[in-house]
Amino acid sequence: MSRMTVNERPVQFDLDPRMPLLYALREAMNLTGTKACGGGPDCSGACMVLVDGVALRSCAITLAEAEGRLITTIEGLSRDRSHPVQQALVAQGAIQCGYCTPGIVMSAAALLMRNPAPSREDIDAGIPNICRCGVYPRLVKAVEQAGRVAQRQEQVSAAPAPGISPEDAAKAVPALRIVPEGE
């Protein structure tokens, strides 16, 4: 059994500990915002999640390596999609097909936690994701705007309606067991 906290909820997986975290999140928890993007050297970063506050590719970390750690997926970043990065990406039109967007959001959120006012060089270094639609100029503007929003220097309200709740997803998945606190 692999135990960890996913989106602020203690969980345990009765799955092979060598399984990539990506597949446990997508298949066992129905948290499909974390995208499968091929893995290996061609990974675009669409599978990015926060592990103890650090943006990591979930295709490259196993359940055993995630044991005891705090995992945040795109679904857990903000329930109503009001996170400054989500808001700014929409406001700046920095979303095209949307496939890479969850990973970009997670990378940008991690960057802004470390550096609320990143330079363009910081953004380029802090967001290693690949967007095949080419939103980079708007992405830089969006991350800069998100930093200002997070520092309460600016307001933006542009998020789309929320999707499935984590509770609804957990109810539908028999392989997932929500572990009560203290157990």
Same domain for 54 and 93, yes or no, is no
Q: Give the model's pLDDT for residue 159.
A: 54
Element (H, E) at 3: strand 2-6
Residues 65 and 18 grouped into a single domain:
yes
Report the C-alpha gap between 60 and 85 in whole angstroms.
24
- Is residue 51 in a domain? yes
pLDDT under 50: residue ranges of the chain = 161, 169, 173-175
For residue 34, give the CATH number of its domain. 3.10.20.30
Does any domain span residue 178?
no
CATH of the domain at 94: 1.10.150.120
Domain that holds residue 43: 2-77+164-173
| Rg, Å, the chain Cα set | 16
Residue 159 lies in a domain: no
Identity at 107, one-letter amino acid code? S
Claim to verify: residue 92 and residue 50 sit in the same structural domain: no
Domain count, the chain: 2
Q: Which is nearest to 129 in space by CA: 161, 164, 168, 89?
A: 89
Model pLDDT, residue 8? 94
Predicted pLDDT at 183: 58
Q: What is the pLDDT of residues 115-166, one digit of tens each?
A: 999 999 999 999 998 888 888 889 999 999 999 998 888 888 665 545 555 5
Same domain, 68 and 103: no
Contact (Cβ atoms closer than 8 angstroms) between residue 71 and residue 43 = no
Asked if the structure places residue 30 within a domain, the reply is yes
| Selection from 103, 23, 36 nearest residue 63 by Cα | 23
Which pLDDT score, from 0 to 100, does residue 182 have?
A: 61
Residues 66 and 90 in one domain: no
Residues 19 and 69 placed together within one structural domain of the fold: yes
* pLDDT value for 133: 84
How buried is 122 (Cβ within 10 angstroms: 0-12 exposed, 13-18 middle, 19+ buried)?
A: middle
Does a structural domain hold residue 181? Answer: no
Judge if pTM exceeds 0.85: no
